[in-house]
Chain A
Amino acid sequence: MNGREVDWVENETVKQLLKRMKYTFPLVVVKINDEVVPRNLFDQVTIPDNAKVAVIHMISGG
């Protein structure tokens, strides 16, 4: 996850992973193996073993 090794948990969803990693930012773009995961599927999509997960959080300002 973001280049860091994280223990894999079977059937863990994106939402659960974000919570476990203590991501408090509500606005994130998540990619699993370079595929964007839409936010409305965070509680349905599970993380495959050995997946490359990238989390980027968006901060207001522009």
Chain B
Amino acid sequence: MDKKKYEEIREKLQESSVGIAGLGGLGSNAAVSLARAGVGRLVLVDFDKVEESNLSRQYYFQDQVGRLKTEAIKENIERINPRVMVEIFNCKLEKGSMERLFKDVDVVIEALDDAEMKTAFIEEVLQKLPGKPVVAASGVAGYGRCDSITTKRLGNLYMCYDEGAPSSEESVLIAPRVALMANWEANLAVEIILG
């Protein structure tokens, strides 16, 4: 590959920042992927602790069970790419101030679990931070259905979307499809950054 082009991409990613709301299956995998890609700054938000059951799909390890997801993911990213500046916020996103921590990032990734929270988050960020690109995912649960996943773009909202997928209440969350959608979101963020 053209070395100059590679340098240009590397530099652009290094200067960029991505915020991620939620560090479950979507958020933890997307964060690690973006760290490997060399995104310079990550703003990561979650309030939860790592549970044993999370290990079936989330980017944590056995010896991290019981620890805060924010701290565990920061540690994992530092082991992969110590050049990434990782800012963590251990708090619950509250309706009315959902956009607060994401004002100064280039791209916001919605990686929440609950449909109600997903909807509220997207609505608030789009309204309160006009012009900010938002990447979101809907239809993560289940398995297979690779070809049903599409990117839907509505203005500044980029959705990784499978409208026929079951919800996590009706079906299981399994690593391959969760990681697929997480990386789909990360890939969209990279595309937005690189233009």
Contact = CB atoms under 8 A, between A and B. Distances in A.
B139 interface: yes
A59 B119 contact: no
Interface string B132-164: 000001111100000000001011010101110
A34 interface: yes
Contacts of A9: none
A62 B152 CA distance: 18
Interface residues of B, number: 37
B116 A36 contact: no
B122 A62 contact: no
A60 B159 contact: no
Interface string B26-59: 1100000000000000000000000000000000
DSSP majority for the B interface?
mixed
B113 interface: yes
A21 interface: no
B113 A36 contact: no
A54 B120 CA distance: 17
B127 A56 contact: no
B167 interface: yes
Contact of A60 (B126, B152, B168): B168
B167 A62 contact: no
Interface string A31-54: 100101011000000000000001
Interface of A: 27-29, 31, 34, 36, 38-39, 54, 56-62
21 contacts: A27-B116, A27-B119, A29-B123, A29-B154, A31-B155, A34-B155, A56-B154, A56-B159, A56-B161, A56-B163, A58-B122, A59-B115, A59-B138, A59-B139, A60-B113, A60-B115, A60-B169, A61-B25, A61-B140, A62-B22, A62-B168
